[in-house]
Structure 1
Amino acid sequence: MSDARATARTMPSGFSVGLDIGGTKTLAVLLGGDGEVLAQTRLATVRGPAGVVDGAVSAVQGVVRQAGVPIGDVTGVGVGVPGLVDSGAGTVRHAVNVGVDGAPLELSTLLSARLGGIGVEVENDLNVAAVGAAHLVEAEGVGHTPTDLAFLALGTGLAAGIVLDGRLRRGSRGAAGEIGHVPVDPAGPPCACGQRGCLELYASGSAVTALWPTTAGRPAPVELFEAAARGDLDAVAARSTYARAVAAAVRMLVLTVDVQHVVLGGGVSQLGQPLLDVVRDALDDESAASAFLRSLDLPGRVRLAPGRVAVGAVGAAVVGRAAGARARDLAG
């Protein structure tokens, strides 16, 4: 199993490609030897095992063609994919969003064979997002080296990918960062995991829809924040409730693993600065009565995922470069 280094400084020279395969789209980036993004592209995801492999091949070929780089100069390919990933075996199963069922799809082996033997690493999509965020934060020269960072995904569910001391932390059973299923209200509503009152029910993107149902076909977070900005008192109250829940997730991550940065990602993060502002305000409010919390500077640790590039695909490319290095070592 790979350590999935998150720092540009530890990566060998050469090109690497990263893929972030989602339910509707596949994002690809090409990284240069200095860790810079040289090209990126987007394709529609084709569901099913064959479609996933064919789409991955097309994405790799497309992004290197866009940059004018021969495929033979690519040292490694990384793939971020939802579902249950065995990174050591290079397989994925139960990736229902992309049409892969319980039978393991040998994605690493199949993709490597189609690309002429290039080393391929497969990783969970949330983990590569964390690695990508760490890579981009380090490129900006922000914070400590090596990076301690949590990528908090505010999507349909709630979970975090964690990088500690520049290394991806999966946990002994792959459950590191699954804070969405920490109960915060034992008397709360039932969660799909079988518990009650889980944090996911209050801080995910789905939680916004429950707080502020929309009938106009637009995303609930957008409608909620727009209504709050217009001064709708119900919307202001709902926005505050949501911000406190996200702040609780941030506090949980800092108090358990003391990461320097908590990066807000996922669908809700597309709200941008207005989301960041209300979460920081909630953290400020919660710290007001606690000298201990104030000493941790919780608001200062929260930031948005960089919007100019596909964070997950960048992380996959970083992971892919490590796969390429291992392949060269074995060949040598």
Structure 2
Amino acid sequence: MSPALVSPARVGLDIGGTKIHGIAIGPDGAVLAEERAATTPGAEGVVKSAATVVASLRDALDDGEISSIGVGIPGIVDTRAGTVKHAVNLGLDGDAFPLAELLGARAGAVVTLENDTNAATLGAHAVEDVDDLVYLSLGTGLAAGLYLNGALRRGFHGAAGEVGHLPVDPEGPVCGCGQRGCLELVASGAALAAAWPTAAGHPAAALFAAATAGDPAAVTVRDRFADGVAAAVRALALAVDPERVVIGGGVATVGEPLREAIAAALVRQTEASPFLASLELASRLRVVSAAPVAAIGAALITPTKD
């Protein structure tokens, strides 16, 4: 009897400023192996760190076969050229860096790049199993990925979903983008950490725990943060009217209390508008706090064909 054929695994890498999270998935989408490692910044460091994670995943597989490597990475990504630029937190802040070519040569497989939020959006689509959704990432910044009518929407300049840079306060502080009073200065992981600093642990977890315990100051900060996220949800819903809004990113580790706070903010914000209330925005919310959607989405990236 001949041995059963085993399909090669697909690898997904979620490359962040501090760590790389890698997974290998089989043809059925099941996670076969998982690995995390610290990110070494700089051109050589990022390539070497990523290649090390791929090697560890390959060693963990029964046959060591990998069909493709998908990479989700912050910055401006040219998916066809396989380059990334303006990934400042990775030390890749110069010209377009040919990460796909260099990592592919080091890892021995075809590499395809995607913006990290878009990769996570693909993962959210896989986990939620709906063909019309917005993925709202509450990380260091605030950004959204759009998966509409069964396809990822990147935008003409790759800027679709940059809802964090909607100015909401003309008298507010200057954002890193150069505008004043942007939404991510209120509704992002960095904004939350600045409003509720902690000596140890995750600021979001500390804030929500304190608010649940009845700390009035924590309740105020939590509700202001939730109002900002709800404003982003409203803007996205009015722009593209998705079936589902999936909340992810570092703040999403809070889980259900985060969803409840955003839902309550949406209800408050729509009370005076029968039109907005009829859209039932709160009922569309989901929070992904456990599934590694960014790495899953990276593994599902389809290699670009010219």
Contact 1:136–1:306 (8 Å) recurs in 2: no
Q: Which residue of 2 aligns with 1:157?
A: 141
Aligned mates of 2:48, 2:272 — CA distance in 1: 56
Flag structure 2 segments of 5+ consecutive residues without an equivalent.
Answer: 1-6
Q: Quick one: distance in 2 between partners of 1:281 and 1:69?
A: 50
Deviations 1:74-132 (A, max 9, x none): 2211011112211110011222222223032211112222333x321111111101111
What is the aligned residue count? 300
1:35 paired residue number: 29
Contact 2:253 2:289 in 1 (8 A): no
TM-score normalised according to structure 2 size: 0.91
CA contact (8 A) 2:76 2:158 kept: no
TM-score, normalising length: structure 1: 0.85
Match of 1:8 in 2: none
Q: Which residue of 1 aligns with 2:74?
A: 82
Higher relative contact order, structure no. (Cα contacts within 8 Å, ≥ 6 residues apart)? 1
1:288 aligns with 2:271: yes
Give distance in 2, aligned partners of 1:27 and 1:106. 20
1:249 equivalent to 2:251? Answer no
Q: 3-state SS of the aligned residue for 1:38?
A: strand
What SS class does the counterpart of residue 314 from structure 1 fall into? helix
- From 154, 157, 178, the equivalent of 1:194 is 178
Mapping of residues 100-111 of structure 1, within 5 Å: 100-111=92-103
Amino acid at match of 1:84: I
Q: Aligned residues: percent identity?
A: 50
Shift of 1:218: 3.6
How far 1:43 moved relative to its partner?
Answer: 1.4
2:191 matches 1:207 = yes
Amino acid at match of 2:117: L
1:185 equivalent in alignment to 2:182: no
Match of 1:18 in 2: 12
1:50 to 21, 44, 50: 44
**RMSD of aligned residue pairs (Cα, Å):** 1.9
Is 1:133–1:306's contact at 8 Å kept on the other side of the alignment? Answer: no
By how many angstroms is 1:18 displaced? Answer: 0.6
Distance 2:210 2:224 in 1: 15
Q: Displacement of 1:252 after TM fit?
A: 0.9
| 1:237 matched to 2:217 | no
Which of 86, 91, 105 matches 1:99? Answer: 91
AA matched with 1:150:
V
* Secondary structure class of the residue paired with 1:203: coil
Q: Secondary structure at the match of 1:275?
A: helix
Provide the residue aligned with 2:4 in structure 1. none
Report the 3-state secondary structure (helix = DSSP H, G, I; strand = E; otherwise coil) of the residue aligned with 2:262: helix
Structure 1 alignment gaps of length 5 or more: 1-12, 139-143
**What is aligned with 2:205?**
222
